[in-house]
Structure 1
Amino acid sequence: MGRPTAVERLRGTVRATAHDVDTRTPAHRDRAVDGLRALALLSVPVGHWLLGGLTRDPGGALHNASPLTTFGFLAPASWFLQMLGIFFLVGGYSSALSLRRAAGRGRSTGAWLRGRLVRLGRPVVGVAAVWAVLLPVLYAAGVPSTTLRTAAVLVVQPLWFVGIYLLVTALTPWCVRAARAFGGWTVLPLLGWVAAVDLLRYGPWAHSMPSWLGLLNLGPGWLFAYQLGVCWGEGRLGGRGARLVLCGGGALFAVLLLVFHYPASMVGVPGTDRTNSHPPSLLVLALAAVQCGAAILLRNRLDALLRRRLTLWAAVVAVNLSAMTIFCWHQTALLTLAIPGSLLDIPLPGLTTPPDTAGWLLARLALLPLIAITLLGVGRLAHRFEVPWTGIRGSSRAAVAVLAAVFASYALAVL
């Protein structure tokens, strides 16, 4: 019998690692929830890499662009790639259970909340501090200032989500009380609020409404799915309720799209005067309802799948362990390839060429593995910001915080 090939050895290593991860996983671990979190998380970089592009002007500077400007028929893809509803659902579910366990150990709500906020804030501060150093270095290396502004926008845009997530996490104790008192019906006021704001900003009187009106939907809009998750975690949203959420969300989605002509894309499209996600419109809540209802109904099947397919479960564990690193640094991975490419005199299809041809779509699809590999490399260096900052002196932490504040100020000015 011959020696095993390299591929066979790799498969053996993967299977052994997967079996080890499975053995180390506590029996009570909710694999379905972890799987849903990983799925929602991975949809963020994939969505940004597929539905966002960069174009190089004659001076070599990069500008943001979107293939949806040309290929409007791709808008339904955003229904599957925008899974923030699932992320907030799982977040609410996990927070409800975590708060309950903390109370059982005698830990105060304030201490629990500080722990959650610190864990979410560390990687955000880290990426901001690193880019505060990178910007002047890249400028000194000859990168155009327009490219740096574009880079700052790309890096900062996903981070708004962390701020909103911190806000709804801070509301967890009140969300739990509401769920225990009224169950899944607690989401109806949030739905009504967003509907009322949409009516004001899109109705016949929209021209007389202030431009900031839509910002009133930021909190209630994203709290909707989070509250569904809290209700699920408190045992107040089961199969019957999930079917109602799924069917009701689907019906509302169809009416808003076909009758009230909401934009089909779940992400912003340059040149359009309306957007669904920034801030969230009623269509976003309808989609979140469909996703959340389906997720709850499929929970047992997903759990069984992840207990049977150990390699898939090991991948889910790996993604969850690096969740915030993936989220905070995925655009940096794209820029790691795009910025050096923009300094070349030749166009790079799918990277620095306008996203307005079928060739660009094919080239970007072909580049996805390379961008993902780049993210793995960046993540190996950046993961230290996600784990506790033990061994780092107070002065060093203060320096990181100052750098992060500098970058945040610059990014806000650019936006």
Structure 2
Amino acid sequence: MRTELSPSTPDVSRRDLTLDLARVTAVCFVVVVHLLQVGVGRGPDGAIVTSRPAEIQPWFDTATWFGQIMPLFFVVGGFASAAGWATWTSRGGDARGFIRSRALRLAQPALPLFLVVAAVLVVAALVGVDPSLVDAAVVGVGMPLWFLAAYLLCQAVVPLTTHWHEVAPRRTVAMLLVAVIAVDALRFASGVQELGYVNLLFVWPLIQQLGYWYRDGWFDHRSSLSLLGLAAGSYLVVGAVVIWGPYSNNMLANLNPPTLPLVLFGLAQACLLRLAKPLLTALMRTKAAQAVVFVIGSRLMTVYLWHLPVILIVSGVALLIPGAAPTPASPEWWATRPLVFAATAVVLWLLSLVLVRFEALGELPPPPGAVVLAIAWVCAFLPPFAVTLEGMNTVLAVSGAVLSAVSVILLRAGRRRAAG
């Protein structure tokens, strides 16, 4: 029986290894940021204390201007998506097959996370674990899941948005930008914060468009001075809309719901990435850098989805070791962060030896029909989107496990062939 084309990968002749490095660096940076936001230790009286140490620091809001790296991930993702779609279609693939493989790459790694979290929460409720400790843990576990919802949307519209980019690139960017501003204006004018989530449809696809422009060579054709000026101008505009507009000076607060500053960050980071390309290219010629990028890049979703549970596990184990869990935000706590990062990296690597198989798709049958594909996509999208809105809890963990399982089953099953 004929199998479907292999999941799309960028054309090797056009592959830019500096983008692989940028993607891996962005995820590792997210791990570091979350490591500084999770404080689990013992207070002076020996009681367990939980807090978010980085967020109480006077420098935190300023640091988020450097720490908000996710727009760059979507720029790089846009480049990879456009390249993947071009390769896919050149081999005779269609939109259904592309969307199925991209959705499966996100839904399949998420399934074990939802299963484990659901099992832990159900058992914790049955044995009577302190709900306050459980709530603090699951909120952290659910924090990164917004990315699944946003990226699922971006991947689903790649066939459409690449077409828009080909026929009217400037008009596409302009229309998406107008939509972003309109949604933000409606949200802030009405005071209904939930309206901001409509910008999932516009903010991230607009940043993805920047990746299309990056692949086309638009940034390559700009001088270093122009790129530096464009990046600086983008940051200045962000500063202006923060000072005179309704946006937060905390760039993590502008993440969910997504807002205009993220678009400007994406443009600035694309410019800075291109400026750094000669240095990054030289680095990626070394075997060591290639090895690190390959090892982490081949299990990137595992690292992203599981780093917070692992940080919590490492912090929990430290509570059992005398003197290993200092009071969060104390000088001793800050001094132990490198050790916690190293321990987290080791545990993540060991965990990935088991979970990396969920990132591999293997051979797939022909894609399901449009209706089944739509149902599978919705089943993959709803759990992370609901967690983004409400935060992780037992109901969402269990329903997320069920819906993710349904999504994976439908996506992997493919279309049945007619008899005869």
Question: Normalising by structure 1, what TM-score?
Answer: 0.76
1:261 Cα shift?
7.2
Distance 1:354 1:259, change over 3 A: same
Which whole-Å CA distance do the structure 1 matches of 2:361 and 2:242 have between them? Answer: 45
1:389 Cα shift?
7.3
User: What is the aligned partner in structure 1 of residue 239 from structure 2?
Assistant: 254
Distance 1:139 1:315, change over 3 A: same
Which whole-Å CA distance do the structure 2 matches of 1:168 and 1:405 have between them? Answer: 17
User: What is the aligned partner in structure 1 of residue 248 from structure 2?
Assistant: 263
Residues 1:146 and 2:127 are matched in the alignment: no
Instruction: Compare 232-241 and 180-189 and name the one that shifted more.
Output: 232-241
Q: Residue 266 of structure 1 contacts residue 277 of structure 1 at CA under 8 Å; is this kept in 2?
A: yes
Residues 1:131 and 2:117 are matched in the alignment: yes
Which whole-Å CA distance do the structure 2 matches of 1:251 and 1:405 have between them? Answer: 37
Q: Residue 231 of structure 2 contacts residue 268 of structure 2 at CA under 8 Å; is this kept in 1?
A: yes
Structure 1 gaps, min length 5: 1-25, 268-274, 391-400
Instruction: Compare 242-251 and 276-285 and name the one that shifted more.
Output: 242-251
1:342 Cα shift?
5.1
Q: Residue 325 of structure 2 contacts residue 333 of structure 2 at CA under 8 Å; is this kept in 1?
A: no
User: What is the aligned partner in structure 2 of residue 369 from structure 1?
Assistant: 342
Distance 1:28 1:234, change over 3 A: closer
Which whole-Å CA distance do the structure 2 matches of 1:28 and 1:289 have between them? Answer: 22
Q: Residue 61 of structure 1 contacts residue 147 of structure 1 at CA under 8 Å; is this kept in 2?
A: no
Which residue of 382, 394, 406 corresponds with 1:410?
Answer: 394
1:109 Cα shift?
1.5
SS in 2 for 1:240: coil
Summarize the alignment of residues 303-342 of structure 1 with structure 2, pairs less than 5 Å apart. 303-307=281-285, 309-341=286-318
SS in 2 for 1:76: helix
Residue identity in the other structure for 1:224: L
**Per-residue displacement from partner, 1:368-402 (whole Å, max 9, x unpaired)?**
22222222222223223222378xxxxxxxxxx99
Which residue of 178, 200, 213 corresponds with 2:195?
Answer: 213
Which residue of 362, 369, 382 corresponds with 2:355?
Answer: 382
User: What is the aligned partner in structure 2 of residue 396 from structure 1?
Assistant: none
Q: Residue 325 of structure 1 contacts residue 383 of structure 1 at CA under 8 Å; is this kept in 2?
A: yes
Which whole-Å CA distance do the structure 2 matches of 1:28 and 1:389 have between them? Answer: 24
Summarize the alignment of residues 16-415 of structure 1 with structure 2, pairs less than 5 Å apart. 29-54=15-40, 63=50, 65-138=51-124, 143-184=129-170, 186-202=172-188, 206=189, 208-235=190-217, 238-240=220-222, 243=227, 245-260=230-245, 262-267=247-252, 275-307=253-285, 309-341=286-318, 348-349=325-326, 353-355=327-329, 357-388=330-361, 410=394, 412=396
Q: Residue 18 of structure 2 contacts residue 277 of structure 2 at CA under 8 Å; is this kept in 1?
A: yes
Which whole-Å CA distance do the structure 1 matches of 2:13 and 2:209 have between them? Answer: 27
Instruction: Compare 165-174 and 370-379 and name the one that shifted more.
Output: 370-379
SS in 2 for 1:178: helix
How many residue pairs end up in the alignment? 363
Which whole-Å CA distance do the structure 2 matches of 1:405 and 1:32 have between them? Answer: 33
Q: CA RMSD in A?
A: 3.5
User: What is the aligned partner in structure 1 of residue 9 from structure 2?
Assistant: none
Which whole-Å CA distance do the structure 2 matches of 1:72 and 1:184 have between them? Answer: 40
Distance 1:33 1:119, change over 3 A: same
Distance 1:347 1:238, change over 3 A: closer
Q: Residue 37 of structure 2 contacts residue 55 of structure 2 at CA under 8 Å; is this kept in 1?
A: no
Which whole-Å CA distance do the structure 2 matches of 1:379 and 1:326 have between them? Answer: 8
Instruction: Compare 231-240 and 168-177 and name the one that shifted more.
Output: 231-240
1:347 Cα shift?
8.0
Q: Residue 124 of structure 1 contacts residue 328 of structure 1 at CA under 8 Å; is this kept in 2?
A: yes
**Per-residue displacement from partner, 1:62-114 (whole Å, max 9, x unpaired)?**
65x32244212132322232211111011111111111111111111111111
Which whole-Å CA distance do the structure 1 matches of 2:309 and 2:142 have between them? Answer: 10
**Per-residue displacement from partner, 1:151-178 (whole Å, max 9, x unpaired)?**
2222222112111101011111121122
SS in 2 for 1:125: helix
Distance 1:250 1:35, change over 3 A: same
1:340 Cα shift?
4.1
1:339 Cα shift?
3.1
Q: Residue 183 of structure 1 contacts residue 237 of structure 1 at CA under 8 Å; is this kept in 2?
A: no
SS in 1 for 2:198: helix
Which whole-Å CA distance do the structure 2 matches of 1:284 and 1:91 have between them? Answer: 15
Structure 2 gaps, min length 5: 1-11, 364-378, 399-420
Q: Identity of counterpart residues, as a percentage?
A: 29
Which whole-Å CA distance do the structure 2 matches of 1:47 and 1:167 have between them? Answer: 25
Which whole-Å CA distance do the structure 2 matches of 1:303 and 1:411 have between them? Answer: 47
**Per-residue displacement from partner, 1:106-163 (whole Å, max 9, x unpaired)?**
1111111111111121111121112222334455666423322222222222112111
